[in-house]
Structure 1
Amino acid sequence: IVPIFTNVIFDTSQVHANTIFKDMFQWLEGIYQTILDHPEVLFILRAHPDEGRKGKESRESVSDWVRNRGLLRLSNLVFIDSNEFVSSYELIRLSHFVMNYNSTIGLEATLLGRPVLTAGKARYTQIPTTFFPARKADYFDLLEKFLKADEIEVPEEFMHNARRFLYAQLFLTSLPFGDFLKDDGVWKGYVTLKDFQVQALLPKNSETIQILTDGILRRKEFLRVP
């Protein structure tokens, strides 16, 4: 099987992602033809879970695109909507290779040892972590090559870089705001401010505030010291 992981069109990363394709939907249009050309391959197209998140539902969704283009009638395509509870990691483990636009699942798939063909510029494509062609023609050439290959080797460099990148993302660049924020108690994934003393915002009282002020005022890196 070949899982296809999309993004949400309103994600702020999309401003920088569209280097090969005009946008994610142009990429999907190209994939649509590939799906038609390869009836022997089972493609599993997954909408990003954030498409249907309450309070920020996407006005331009993959779900609508799938229905408008008639993909549900295709026997070699399974569509998983944003509100369906299916493990993406199980899809990755069962895959021949993985296709994604620019979501973090591409990095995670590399860490799971699967070949990943990425279509949009992502944080992690700054270093070799997935297969990320520079031109549209090269992208579809590589896609055809992957579809016809019995095995696809994942370069060891991809795995090494993916581990390093994810560590930096989770433990160095991610700043904790637990002293100031809490779950809003209404919608999953949303937060609200805690009650805290104003002194808590002084750099000497908060590692996070210290890093932010150093970055803004002294042009230091917005990084935690490991």
Structure 2
Amino acid sequence: MKVTVIGGTGLIGSQLVTALRAAGHDVVPAAPSTGVDLLTGVGLDEVIEGADTVVNVSNSPTFDEASPAFFRTTVGNLLAAGERAGVRHQVALSIVGVDRVPQLDYYRAKTLQEELLRGGPTPYSIVRATQFFEFMDAVMSWTADDRTVRLPATPVQPIATADVVAALADVTTGPPLNGILDVAGPDVFPLDELGRLTLAVRQDARTVVTDERAGMFAAVEGDVLTAGPDARPAPTRYEDWLRTG
């Protein structure tokens, strides 16, 4: 199978390229560094030519009100190029609960991405993942100083990117779902407790202060960022990942 991975040099994309190649597939990574510009469409036709499946793990350069325009343009370009090339399966990576957090610009943008893919001309699959283990440092940095980290108690169900890649690889090489697969880590944590665990394992002396107004996830109500019973469970536990990472 020939697969083009849009965003194929990033955190998820580079791992997916490696995994698919190890399974014997012909994989082409596409990114600005390989001469592909999703916003203008430059390089798309060339990199998609002959592909059976296209996987889009690209991301908006910002998480603000500009992000919907990014996805509107890039998904349109990608679907049009795929139709010209005869692509039979379009796969996109999204976020668990993305359509239940309209307060966040970026989540509205990702919801738009899903809607455009569903309304496109090609059979599709959407893989929604919970928050990545690897993003915890960034989440804490938004509201941290030398002594404290302020975090809300928002429930999250974090997942290792390696487990996300495994799910993406299975979906990519299978028939189109024409629907959504949720993938999630094995454990649910209040975000503030996850911060405390992270600092404790790393022997970081800072204190986590519970603050329901702190950071992006303060806008999230209830447990919408956790997966339901039909989600594909991932095996890697956060504390094990922390201790071996």
Q: Please classify the TM superposition score into its range, dividing by the shorter chain length.
A: 0.3 to 0.5
TM-score by length of 2: 0.33
Judging by fraction of residues, say which structure has more strand: 2
TM-score by length of 1: 0.35
